[in-house]
Amino acid sequence: MRTLTFKHRLVAAFMLMVLKLIFKTCRVRLKGIEHFEKTIGEGSAILSFWHDSMAIVPPIFNRFCLKTKFIACISNSRDGDWLHAVVSRFPQADSIRIGHRARARGLLEMIREVEKGNRTLLITPDGPKGPPKTLKEGILEVSRKTGTPILPVSWKSSFTFRFRTWDRFRVPLPFSTIEVIISPPATTAEAIQEGMNLYP
């Protein structure tokens, strides 16, 4: 795993500052937090959301979900370095860096983490390169082998900006009303996708 540079850390701090300022102007409605609290109270949890939805995760879960350690699954690539730099800014968060040719090793690390208990694994099952909103099998394997529930997450904003990236990455705009839903535990690919697609 490459060492984060000063540039990585500086950009990550700036990105989080911008998100924090945006969210201070927004009204946030979070539904389904009881599903998360019940699940994490019994062990570990897996939160699943599409790659285009990542901008919502740090401010929402830093605000509402501080009773657990978050483990983000991030590609061990140059692009992944930027996301890892953002995650490293949160004291209750850590990263698992997964190489493109080391899938089995990555799955093993994820399994080891959730088996420690009081862990929340953050997974984008269409990452790191897509196809967008196409579920990959890794998340189901971790859930089956550990018995850890998967909670799909979906969100929408009254005003949203989309980047011209492969995933059409989106960010809520200032003074938006943001609605976030954490769905009940899902065990099938169909149910996971349905939960992540509640707000397209």
For the CA atoms of 128, 129, 135, 139, the dihedral, rounded to the nearest 10 degrees, stands at -20
H-state helical runs in 25-125: 33-41, 57-64, 78-87, 103-114
On the CB side of 65, CA atoms within 13 Å amount to 31
Tokens describing residue 60? 């929402």
Beta-carbon contacts of residue 159 (< 8 Å; ≥ 6 apart): 172, 173, 174, 175, 176
**Model pLDDT for residues 56-106, shown as the tens digit of each residue:** 887 777 777 777 889 999 988 888 888 888 888 888 888 998 877 767 888
- pLDDT recorded at residue 1: 56
Residue ranges, the chain, pLDDT below 50: none
The 8-class DSSP code of residue 56 comes to G
- pLDDT recorded at residue 46: 95
